[in-house]
Amino acid sequence: MTKFPVTILGAWVALAAVSVFFALPSQHIALNAMFSAPMEAGYLLGSDELGRSLAARLVDGARVSLLVAVVTVSISASLGTLLGVAAGYLGGWVDRIISSLIDIFLAFPGLLLAIALAGMLGPGIGNVIFALSVMGWVGYARLARNQVLSLKRREHVIAAVALGQPNGVIMRRHLLPLLMAPLLVEASFGVASAVIAEAGLSFLGLGVQPPQASWGNMIREGVRYLLVAPHLVLVPGLALSMVVLSANLLGDALRDRLDVTSRSKQ
C-alpha cells in the first residue's frame, strides 16, 4: 500500500520539476481549439475555454502546490517545534505564554483564519504561504510540547542536567532528535493540508491569480463550463485528490512504521 502514495507523490514532484526546468505552453491561447476533449486536436488532457493545454497548466499547478506545501510545512514545522520544545522543557512563564497562544489560535477554525489573513493581505502566492504558516505552526507546537513533557524525564536528559549542560544544548542534542519521528508524521499530514488549503484559497480568488495556473483556480474556471466540458474540473480535481490522498496514506504508513508500541503488538 505504501508504493501507491510514494508513486503518486513522486510523480507530483517530477511534474513540478518539469515545470521548473522546461518552458511549457500553459499560456498559449488557441481559440480554434477551445474545449477540446482529452486526446483530441493534439491535446493530451484536452484544452480549456481559451484553448490552453490542460496538461501544461496541470504541470504548472503541480509546481505551485509543491512550492506552497514545502515552504509552508518548513516554516510551520520550524517555528512550531521551536516554540513547543521551549514551552515543554522550560516550563513556567514561557510555557504559560506559548500555551495561551496555542489556545488562542486553536479557538479559530484554521482555514477561516487563513481566508481572513489572505483577504487582508491580498491575493498572491507569498501571502498564501504566510497565511497558511500562521495557521499551521500550532499543531507542531502542541505536538512538540506534549512530547517534551514526557521526554525530559528520561535518564539521559536528567544526566545532562546534572552535568550542567546549557538548556539550549539539552534541547538541541537530547530532545530534538527524539521528536523527529512524530514530527515527520505530522509534516506528511501537513503537506496534504497545505495543498488542499492552497487550492481552496485559489478557488475563492484569494490565492494564485490567473493567468498563472493553480489547481484551485483551474477548478474555479472550469466550474462555469461543467456541463459543456467536465474535463476542465475533473483533470485538476483528480490530480488534487490523488496528491492529498497519497500524502495522508503516506502519513498513516509512517505513523504505523514509526510507532514502536503498535509494532510490538503485532
Long-range contact list for 203-211, CB < 8 A, 24+ apart? 204/115, 205/123, 206/115, 206/118, 206/119, 206/123, 206/128, 207/118, 207/123, 207/124, 207/125, 207/128, 208/64, 208/123, 208/124, 208/125, 208/128, 209/123, 209/124, 211/27
What's the CA gap between 263 and 231, in Å, rounded? 43
Q: Is pLDDT above 50 for 266?
A: no
53: phi then psi, degrees, rounded to nearest 5: -70, 125
- Could you tell me the pLDDT band of residue 239, with boundaries at 50, 70 and 90? very high
**How many C-beta atoms surround the C-beta of residue 1 within 10 A?**
8
Rounded CA-CA distance 96/94 in Å is: 5
- Each residue's pLDDT tens digit, 155-212: 888 888 888 888 788 888 888 888 888 899 999 999 999 999 999 999 988 888 888 8
Cβ contact 202:217 at 8 Å: yes
**pLDDT tens digits for range 121-139:** 888 888 899 989 988 899 9
pLDDT band at 24 (very low <50, low <70, confident <90, very high): confident
In CATH, which superfamily holds the domain spanning 67-230?
A: MetI-like (1.10.3720.10)
The domains of the chain are located at: 67-230
Spacing of C-alpha 24 from chain mean position = 25
Give yes or no for residue 264 having a pLDDT over 60.
no
pLDDT of res. 173: 84
Q: How confident is the model at residue 1 (pLDDT cuts 50, 70, 90)?
A: low
Mean pLDDT across the chain, nearest whole number? 87
Comparing 221 with 109, the larger pLDDT belongs to 221
CA distance 243 to 261: 29
> With contact defined as beta carbons under 8 Å apart, do 48 and 38 qualify?
no
Please list, in sequence order, all residues whose beta carbon lies within 8 angstroms of the beta carbon of residue 197, skipping any fewer than 6 positions away.
111, 114, 132, 135
**Highest averaged pLDDT of the listed ranges 150-159, 204-213, 237-246:** 237-246
Q: Nearest 5 degrees, angle CA 169-CA 172-CA 173?
A: 80
Say which range, 67-71, 79-83, 141-145, 158-162, has the weakest mean pLDDT.
158-162
Backbone φ, ψ for residue 95 (5° rounding): -65, -40
